[in-house]
Copies of this chain bind each other. A is one copy, B any other.
Amino acid sequence: MLCNTPRLDKLRTARHFFSRMAKTPEERRLPKKEYEARVPELRTALVQMQVGLKAAPFPVLLVIAGEDASGKGEVVNILNAWLDPRGVETFSFHEPTDEERERPAMWRYWRSLPPRGRMGIYAGSWYTEALREDPRSPRELADFDRGLRRIAHFERLLAADGALIVKCWLQLSKDAQRARLRELEDDPRTAWRVSPEDWKSHRDHDRLARLTERLRRATSRPGAPWHVINAADPRVRNLAVGEYLLKRFRAHALAHQKIPAPVKPRRVVPLRPAGLRRLQALPLTQQLSGEVYEEKRDKWLGRLNHLVRAAAERRRSIVWVFEGWDAAGKGGAIRRLTDAIDARDYRVIPVAKPTDEEKLHHYLWRFWRHVPRAGMVTIYDRSWYGRLLVERIEGFCREDEWRRAFAEISDFESQLTEHGIIVLKFWLHISKDEQLRRFRDREDTHYKNHKINAEDWRNRRQWRAYEAAVGDMLALTGGPSAPWHLVPSNNKRHARLQIIKTSCQQIAAALEG
């Protein structure tokens, strides 16, 4: 239906086989000669665009969507013939694979994003999926609108990161669609492309046109506007898509040619002092004897083991996020947790500097990569919150970037929780004095030496800045479905026990809910 083009039973021809079709009688057509005179210049310009793109600090996403029989597949093929295929990849999304079905809906699009300097053409995209259900009832339409908001958010997030998003909607009037379908049917080489469903949706043209207008209205935003192209004349259509892409690219490249000046880190002023106050008010004087600890720990670990298995049986995944001061005990806490989980079911992702493949993508891309399959566990040892902590403080990203990240991160997490993933986030809190004791201990103890370096001492000098940033993080990112758990960690036993207990309670609540 609509922009959905199933595999193997729809057009699979190429440039050489296009020219023979498509002569809608009712409209004035661009003469072939004129078309052929204009194409070479456009092709040259497009290839030049690709050369420029290679060094550009952004990716290009070209979405080709539109009515049935408007020639989306033809346009995608023509573009690929015009472009240098080495710099572009075409994506179409068929039935999700089982690896995709087991993750949040947008995971498959995240894994298909082109890196900076490259281009992805989407023949069938997130819009295909949005329209697949063909919503009719008010309830279905409300779901539809919710899906569109998710898409708008996805595109806004990419556009804000610099991506050039070019979306073409190929439009056909009801008459033009009828003429086009007849034309395809009349030619024995293309008759197989017309199915009874096509005629059915043709009869429903006006309703579907209203639906797709609703779709375009909801998702046409600055940075990702829809461009509607009359597809009645294939030649006009092809040129229009190519020229629009060029125009957008040129404007975008111009706007992005100035390399932003390096960000000078400024004093970190809390946006929400309430968060900072909550952090500073946390009592850190807990004590716990070794004996009581071991007894309780074993009891709770037994419970955790049981709960993680129960979650897996229900195909619910768990994501643990560990953040905290250097030397606050994240590693040790993770070890205690994993003691209770079958090693075949979890992965620990230590988050350090991004790899160069990761640097070529949106900062969330490298976390999307590791979202667990159904019933599995991912433990992030540091996480996407780096954006709001080290990147904010050290000036690794611009102010508008980290400010945006509060909403981006909340949305990311809500995609996880809406998919049924249980998200458990812990901030391990210690006092500045306690950190000093632990740093010295690490320096003095031979086998802990590797755990301390100059960077740790540098971060320590920024304690106040981190405090402010952590406070903002606590105040602005913990929704009810993925709240922050503050863990007083001056006493390691107390911290570990609290983490295990809280995890149990949260998982139990999620499984009951």
Chain A interface (Cβ < 8 Å from any Cβ of B) = 5, 7-8, 11-17, 44, 47-48, 51, 54, 73, 76-77, 79-81, 84-87, 89-92, 97-99, 121, 123-124, 298, 301-302, 305, 309, 312-313, 331, 334-335, 338-348, 350, 355-357, 375, 379, 381, 447, 450
Contacts and interface: CB of A to CB of B under 8 A. Distances in A.
A16 to B, nearest CB: 6
A344 B123 contact: yes
B123 A8 contact: no
A309 B8 contact: yes
20 contacts: A7-B344, A8-B309, A13-B305, A47-B447, A73-B344, A76-B343, A76-B344, A79-B343, A81-B339, A85-B335, A85-B338, A89-B347, A89-B348, A90-B346, A91-B344, A97-B97, A99-B99, A124-B344, A356-B356, A356-B357
A275 B271 CA distance: 71
B338 A80 contact: yes
Contacts of A124: 344
A90 B343 CA distance: 6
A12 B342 contact: yes
A340 B16 contact: yes
A302 B17 contact: yes
Nearest to A52: B450
B51 A450 contact: yes
Copies of the protein in its oligomer: 2
Contacts of A342: 11-14, 73, 77
Contacts of A8: 309, 312-313, 375
Contacts of A123: 343-344
B16 A339 contact: yes
Contacts of A121: 343
Contacts of A298: 16
Contacts of A305: 12-14, 16-17
Given A80-B338, A305-B12, A381 B86 contact: yes
Contacts of A343: 76-77, 79-80, 90, 121, 123
Contacts of A47: 447
A40 to B, nearest CB: 12
A308 to B, nearest CB: 8
A55 B340 CA distance: 29
Contacts of A7: 344
Contacts of A51: 450
B90 A344 contact: yes
Contacts of A98: 97-99
Contact of A355 (B77, B301, B357): B357
A335 B12 contact: no
Nearest to A12: B342
| The 6 A-B residue pairs with the shortest CB-CB distance in the complex, in nearest-first order | A92-B344, A80-B343, A90-B343, A12-B342, A86-B350, A85-B348
